[in-house]
Amino acid sequence: MALQEGDFIRLRYTGRAGENIFDTTDEETAKEEGIYDPQAKYGPIIIRLGSHHIIPGLEDELIGKEVGTEGEVDIPPEKAFGAHDEQHVRSVPITRFREKPMQGMRVEVEGSEGLVVDVIGRRAVVDFNHPLAGKTLHYSYAILEKVEDQVEQIKGLIKLYSGRTDIGITITDGTVELALPPAIIYDRRWMVWRGTLVREIFEYYPDIENVVMKETFLRPQKPEEAPETTEVEVETEETGE
pLDDT by residue (tens digit) across 203-221?
Answer: 999 999 999 999 888 788 8
Architecture, CATH, for domain 86-127: Beta Barrel (2.40)
Q: Write down the pTM of the prediction.
A: 0.83
Query: For 28-55, how does the pLDDT look when each residue is reduced to its tens digit (9 = 90+)?
Result: 999 999 999 998 889 999 999 999 999 9
Query: For 81-128, how does the pLDDT look when each residue is reduced to its tens digit (9 = 90+)?
Result: 999 999 999 999 999 998 999 999 999 998 899 999 999 999 999 999
Q: Do domains 86-127 and 149-223 have the same CATH topology?
A: no
Residue 198's closest CA among 216, 219, 175, 173? 175
E strand or H helix at 190, and its extent? helix 188-204
**CA-to-CA distance for 24 and 48, rounded, in angstroms?**
18
Phi and psi based region of residue 199 (left: phi greater than 0; alpha: psi -120 to 50; beta: remaining): alpha
**CA-to-CA distance for 195 and 190, rounded, in angstroms?**
9
pLDDT for the residue numbered 77: 97
List the chain domain ranges: 1-83+132-148, 86-127, 149-223
Architecture, CATH, for domain 1-83+132-148: Roll (3.10)
* Statement: 149-223 belongs to CATH 3.10.20.600: no
